[in-house]
């Protein structure tokens, strides 16, 4: 039997619960982490949109990739 985790999600002003299966949680944990921030420059002339993508891989993965080049 799969363990499911409930997550609340807001859609069009109403809140609904979403069930996530263990398989879905495993898939989501393998995706990169994306962080985004928006700010205004000190002089107010520019909008700064900063995106950070964090991808975690085992060290052995990179060793094999570098080994094949």
pTM score: 0.49
- Per residue in 30-49, pLDDT (tens digit) is 889 999 999 999 999 999 99
Q: What Cα–Cα distance (Å) separates residue 67 from each residue in 32, 39, 56, 60, 64?
A: 24, 41, 19, 10, 5
pLDDT at 49 (0 to 100): 96
pLDDT digits (tens, 9 = 90+) for 17-28: 778 888 888 888
The count of domains in the chain is 1
Query: Percent of the chain scored above 70 by pLDDT?
Result: 75
User: What residue numbers bound the domain in which 24 lies?
Assistant: 4-67
């Amino acid at each position: 039997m799969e363990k499911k985790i409930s997550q609340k999600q807001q859609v069009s002003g109403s809140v609904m619960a979403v069930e996530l299966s263990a398989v879905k949680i495993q898939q989501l944990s393998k995706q990169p982490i994306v962080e985004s921030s928006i700010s205004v420059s000190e002089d107010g002339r520019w909008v700064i949109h900063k995106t950070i993508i964090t991808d975690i891989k085992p060290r052995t993965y990179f060793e094999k990739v570098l080994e094949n080049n």
